[in-house]
Chain A
């Protein structure tokens, strides 16, 4: 058991990777066996993530040096720097890992029945597992170049999945745009990695964090990294790929690509907090993050109200909700150099932002799944053609309602808890930002009222009389996410104390992150 625990960081990445390339072979034997293998792999990954999480929250971060005689030996003897590739898993990484594992599992279960009538499913599941690998690797890695590699794995598999339904021309277009912006963003990251290597001869994030000087070249590298991650996480005005890609991806995949964007947001936070930390000009960089966050909130939600394609509407909401996270964590970053302000409201703003990540992954995932359930049953994504389907799709309507209330921040749902934390703490930093955030929340509610009114309520349209509820596994996938939302809604205090607070501490305490690798030297 303990050796499983020690090796779990690499197993979480290696097992889906192995299973990904096993699925085409199993697929030749039988479809059922392949589905079972995929689900079993993801359940096992979820299990590993949870046991690792329990251990990390109890005993502190894990490191795993690849190729070392002992995986816990980050620093080889007689060396001054860590030369091996190191996986470094702290509370923040494993927190994101739990989100990715859960959403991947729900997406796979949902896809089993959603993809039943499609061809090429062997490749579909290979890509799905590779996307999981990419997210997990991005969240667990402690190495800048490795981060680039996993970002590319994530981008390629994400783009291939978004373009999976090649019989639709728009699916190809969405996938191509995603790949294009990912390729450019990843090259910028590689350039930044080159700048770091030129200056410090290091690739390890912790070792770089110890050596970093914030010279002119470091500033260029920081800007390149930040912009690349903003592009990947769809912050306005770099959000334009997001509605195009999210709206065309197959159902289960949209939440996964969204969570992949959140993984890129994690990478942004890791770079800002652990790599640069207080060496950078925290006020400036913090305000850049805040401004992009506020712009994302505003533009995302105002564009969302206008859309008539239901998935495009949800995609714009995804952009808008990312803004809340950037706002919360940006306030924390802006006051990072000021211990009093950090203790007074900075930490709580970050808790709000990071709590919003997990809340949002769950209810946004649920909303994407319900939107695609409508598409599955009705054959259209156009809201103008829908009406009165609540009568025939009861469970889907209930799931939609829970998701819509949660995303609009209506108490007692979990969206309210995280938004309350953000409003109250951001108010102490700058009252205007808090007012804007509340206003955005109202428009969010308004747009979901529009969807509910036009699609679900009213007299049922004649040609939808024969519409039936979606099959069981699809309801199961939505049910898992709904159950998690209700759990989070009922125990927000427990979640914040047990999960969010350690994650925020791990993000803020840069010294601990560096010491976990470089500790052997002092």
Chain B
């Protein structure tokens, strides 16, 4: 049972990735598509952080360290980097959608397309 409780973050990861992919696949609204990508990013980031967790782990700072057991610091560094990249991507995609809307008057993936075939 104590083991089972540590799987909850991974269930959350699966749920977030599932929701993210569902939005990306089924929603033709471009802004919602970006939201889907953000949710997907959140899922992957949560995955990275939660796999670095150790049971009863403390903060991985050596000054005033009171725990012998620490959580892994590397996944946290990875997550931080990934969050920064994610923000950049989100902002960039939203600004692109803005100009797409200006040109075509639609933010629907089907109505705003010009390239196919």
B82–A183 touching, CB < 8 Å = no
Residues of A within 8 A of B92 (CB): 156, 159-160, 179
A244 within 8 A of B: yes
Segment 151-197 of A: residues with Cβ below 8 Å from B: 152, 156, 159-160, 163, 166, 169-170, 172-176, 179-180, 183-184, 187, 190-191, 193-194, 197
**Would you give the shortest CB distance from A317 to chain B, in whole angstroms?**
16
Chain B 68-100 interface 0/1 with A at a Cβ cutoff of 8 Å (1 = within): 000010110010011001001100110011011
Which residues of B55-76 have CB atoms within 8 Å of chain A's CB atoms?
72, 74-75
B116: nearest chain-A partner, CB-CB: A244
Contact B96 A176 (CB under 8 A): yes
* Cβ-defined contact, A244 with B115, below 8 A: yes
Alpha-carbon distance between A244 and B109 when the two chains are bound, in angstroms: 14
Chain A residue with the shortest CB-CB distance to B52: A197
B40 touches A176 (CB 8 A): no
**Cβ contacts under 8 Å, A148 to chain B:** 82
- In angstroms, Cα B99 to Cα A169, docked, is 8
**A173 to B107, alpha carbons, bound, how many Å?**
11
CB distance from A64 to the nearest CB of B (A): 20
Determine if B44 and A190 form an interchain contact, defined as CB atoms under 8 angstroms apart. yes
Q: Interface extent on A, as a size class? A: 20 to 34
Q: Which residues of A contact B52 (CB under 8 A)?
A: 197
Contact B85 A152 (CB under 8 A): yes
Q: Are B115 and A183 in contact (CB under 8 A)?
A: no
Can you name the residue of chain B whose Cβ is closest to the Cβ of A241? B115
Q: Kindly supply a per-residue 1/0 record for chain B positions 28-65, scoring 1 wherever the CB is within 8 Å of any chain A CB and 0 otherwise.
A: 00100100010011001001100110000000000000
Query: Does A145 count as interface, using CB distance less than 8 angstroms?
Result: yes
* CB of B7 closer than 8 Å to a CB of A: no
**Residues of chain A lying within 8 A (CB to CB) of residue B114:** 169-170, 173
In terms of DSSP, what is the predominant structure of the interface of chain B? helix
Residues of A contacting B96 with CB < 8 Å? 159, 163, 172, 175-176, 179
Contact A187 B44 (CB under 8 A): yes
Given A190-B44, A203-B74: A156 and B33 within 8 A (CB)? no
Given the complex, which residues of B lie within 8 Å of A170, measured CB to CB? 114-115
A171 to chain B, nearest CB (A): 9
Q: Which residues of A contact B51 (CB under 8 A)?
A: 194, 197-198
Quick check: A183 and B93 within 8 Å, CB to CB?
A: yes
CB-defined contacts of A197 to chain B, threshold 8 Å: 48, 51-52, 74-75, 78
Q: A175-B96, A179-B92 are in contact. Are A194 and B48 (CB under 8 A)?
A: yes
Closest chain B CB from A83 CB (angstroms): 9
On chain B, the residues within 8 Å of A166 by CB distance are 99
CA distance A172 to B92 in the complex (A): 12
Query: Given A244-B115, A248-B115, is A172 in contact with B99 using a C-beta cutoff of 8 Å?
Result: yes
Residues of chain B within 8 A (CB-CB) of A193 are 78
Which B residues lie within 8 Å of A145 (CB)? 78, 81
A173 and B100 in contact (CB under 8 A), knowing A152-B89, A159-B92?
yes
Contact partner, B93, options A180, A187, A198, A247, Cβ 8 Å: A180
**Contact between A243 and B93 (Cβ–Cβ < 8 Å)?**
no
Contact A180-B115, Cβ < 8 Å, known A145-B78, A187-B40: no
Is residue A115 within 8 Å, beta carbon to beta carbon, of the partner chain?
A: no
Give the distance in Å from the alpha carbon of A51 to the alpha carbon of B97 in the complex.
44
Q: Say yes or no for A283: interface residue by CB 8 A criterion.
A: no
Q: Would you call A291 an interface residue if the criterion is a C-beta within 8 Å of the partner chain's C-beta atoms? A: no
Interface residues of A in 190-216 (CB under 8 A from B): 190-191, 193-194, 197-198, 201, 203
Q: Is the CB of B100 within 8 A of A180?
A: no
A145-B78, A172-B96, A172-B103 in contact; A183/B44 too (CB < 8 A)? no
- CB contacts (< 8 Å) of B48 on chain A: these are 190, 194, 197
Central interface residue in A159, A172, A173, A197, by most chain B CB within 10 Å? A172
Instruction: Tell me the nearest residue of chain B to A148, going by C-beta.
Output: B82
Cβ–Cβ < 8 Å partners of B75 in chain A? 194, 197
Residues of A within 8 A of B85 (CB): 149, 152
Smallest beta-carbon distance A220→chain B, Å? 13
B97: which A residues are within 8 A, CB to CB?
176
Q: Given A172-B100, A197-B51, check contact A156 B115 (CB 8 Å).
A: no
Given contacts A172-B99, A190-B82, contact A179 B41 (CB under 8 A): no
A189 to chain B, nearest CB (A): 10
Q: For the complex, what is the distance from the CA of A183 to the CA of B48, rounded to whole Å?
A: 17
Residues from chain A with Cβ under 8 Å of B88 in the complex: 156
Q: In the bound complex, how far is the Cα of B104 from the Cα of A31, in angstroms?
A: 33
Nearest chain A CB to B46's CB is how many angstroms away?
10
- What are the residues of chain B within 8 A of A243 when measuring CB–CB? 115
Min CB gap A192→B, angstroms: 10
Task: State whether A173 touches B44 (Cβ < 8 A).
Answer: no
Given the complex of chains A and B, what is the CA–CA distance between A183 and B89 in angstroms? 8
| From A176, A187, A198, contact of B100 by CB (8 A) | A176
Q: How far is the CB of A253 from chain B (nearest CB, A)?
A: 16
B47-A194 in contact (CB<8A):
yes
Taken together as a complex, chains A and B put the C-alpha atoms of A351 and B37 apart, in Å, by 39
Cα distance A173–B92 when bound, in Å? 13
Hey, which chain B residues are within 8 Å of A183, CB to CB? 37, 41, 89, 93
Closest residue on chain A to residue B48 by CB atoms: A194
Q: Which of A191, A201, A247 has the most CB of B within 10 A?
A: A191
In the A-B complex, the 7 residue pairs with the smallest Cβ-Cβ separation, listed nearest first, are: A169-B103, A244-B115, A198-B51, A170-B114, A176-B96, A172-B100, A194-B48
Q: List 10 A-B contacts (CB under 8 A).
A: A156-B89, A159-B92, A169-B114, A176-B97, A179-B89, A183-B37, A187-B41, A194-B75, A197-B51, A197-B52
**A170-B115, A183-B93, A184-B37 known, 19 other contacts, Cβ within 8 Å:** A149-B81, A156-B88, A156-B89, A166-B99, A169-B103, A172-B100, A173-B100, A173-B115, A176-B93, A176-B100, A179-B89, A183-B41, A187-B44, A190-B82, A194-B48, A197-B48, A197-B52, A197-B78, A203-B74
